[in-house]
């Protein structure tokens, strides 16, 4: 059976890491007939070419695919008010695919403990899986913009909260059985609903799960002070976006973090956590590990190719252990160097 993957390179370093990730994914699978990869315009580059950041043809291709890979999105510099932000296209993509839970693992590689700005003893043993609600909250609520004021409204329903809490609790069952829910219930009404719903769902259906609630400002502190004490962390869209960027520093670089966005079906959206990095775009030094590790998740969760996922996962670990580090990690490897090193380790296997 041929699996169909839609690739949206996007902007900045997006095309560089996307091409690198597709190359190693195809090598891990081995069988050219097993995968059909289609490349589609998306983001600022698509807007410049055709006036739409998320063209209808790209939307149709994503909905027809078994999985979607996305690189990065963003416009260089400041846009005039009449030009729509291309980042809105990513929100539309997530909504179109119905991917309401974003999984972001944070597991520092032993060879990169000294690449983190924190002392290695603080980072050692960290293995966190963030579950971020992805299609609700402040990013998707009603907005107003006027010359003298603006507003963004955060909205959550019980159903939106329930499904992401269940996703996180199911994942916690397969790990240590510990779940941390992050909110701002001392101030926000949406967070109070979040906490009430979480308490009820865990009490009724997950009595084996150990649940703790942590306020988001305290969580920002604890991620630096004691990251190894957390396992599965579930939180809202905005809080998850911010906290996982902070947690990326535990791994040494934002370029190391992958993500998988999932919903009710098997089709998912896979992307590195980083942005477009316009300061290094086109220089060939972008860190492709987050994009490549996102492909591991794609192979495993959407394409049903777990053996290829395992091969690629191990090859990535081996390449990092051997010192194939891009400049953001303190090394000198180029993007192409990392691709060659990962391919060589796949050949060995």
Give the active site residues. Answer: 139, 184, 217, 241, 245
Spatial contact of 14 and 72, defined as CB atoms under 8 Å apart: yes
Question: Which among 278, 317, 279, 310 is positioned nearest to 296, based on CA atoms?
Answer: 310
Residue written as tokens 């919903």?
263
Secondary structure class of 221 (helix, strand, coil): helix
Spatial contact of 266 and 302, defined as CB atoms under 8 Å apart: yes
Question: Which among 125, 230, 237 is positioned nearest to 180, based on CA atoms?
Answer: 230
Spatial contact of 194 and 140, defined as CB atoms under 8 Å apart: no
**Residue 213 in tokens:** 């609630």
Strand partners, 3: 35
Helix (H) or strand (E) holding 149: strand 149-152
Strand partners, 181: 213, 234
User: Which residues make Cβ contacts (< 8 Å) with residue 125, sequence separation at least 6?
Assistant: 228
As a whole number of angstroms, the distance between CA 165 and CA 194 comes to 9
Helix (H) or strand (E) holding 146: strand 143-146
């Amino acid at each position: 059976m041929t699996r169909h993957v839609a690739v949206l390179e996007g902007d900045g370093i997006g095309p560089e890491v996307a091409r690198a990730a597709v190359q190693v994914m195809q090598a891990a699978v081995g069988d050219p007939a097993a995968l059909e990869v289609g490349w589609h315009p998306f983001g600022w580059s698509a807007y410049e070419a055709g006036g739409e950041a998320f063209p209808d043809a790209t939307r149709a291709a994503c909905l027809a695919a078994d999985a979607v890979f996305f690189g990065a999105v963003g416009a260089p510099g400041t846009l005039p008010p009449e030009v729509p932000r291309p980042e809105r296209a990513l929100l539309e993509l997530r909504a179109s695919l119905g991917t309401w839970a974003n999984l972001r693992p944070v597991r520092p590689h032993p060879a990169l403990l000294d690449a983190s700005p924190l002392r290695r003893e603080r980072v050692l043993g960290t293995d966190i899986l963030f579950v971020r609600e992805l299609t609700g909250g402040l990013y998707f609520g009603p907005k107003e913009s006027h010359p003298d004021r603006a507003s963004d409204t955060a909205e959550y329903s019980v159903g939106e909260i329930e499904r992401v809490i269940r996703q996180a609790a199911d994942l916690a069952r397969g790990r240590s059985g510990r779940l941390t829910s992050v909110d701002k219930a001392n101030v926000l009404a949406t967070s109070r609903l979040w906490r009430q719903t979480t308490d009820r769902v865990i009490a009724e259906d997950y009595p084996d799960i150990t649940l703790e609630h942590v306020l988001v400002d305290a969580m920002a502190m604890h991620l630096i002070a004691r990251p190894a004490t957390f396992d599965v962390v579930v939180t809202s869209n905005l809080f998850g976006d911010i906290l996982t960027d902070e947690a990326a520093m535990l791994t040494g670089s934002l370029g190391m973090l992958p993500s998988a966005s999932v919903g009710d079906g098997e089709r998912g959206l896979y992307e590195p956590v980083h942005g477009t990095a316009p300061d290094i775009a086109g220089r060939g030094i972008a860190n492709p590990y987050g994009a490549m590790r996102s492909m591991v998740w794609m192979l495993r969760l959407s394409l049903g190719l777990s053996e290829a996922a395992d091969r690629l996962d191990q090859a990535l670990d081996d390449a990092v252990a051997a010192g194939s580090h891009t400049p953001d990690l303190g090394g000198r490897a180029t993007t192409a160097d990392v691709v060659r090193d990962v391919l060589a380790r796949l050949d060995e296997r």
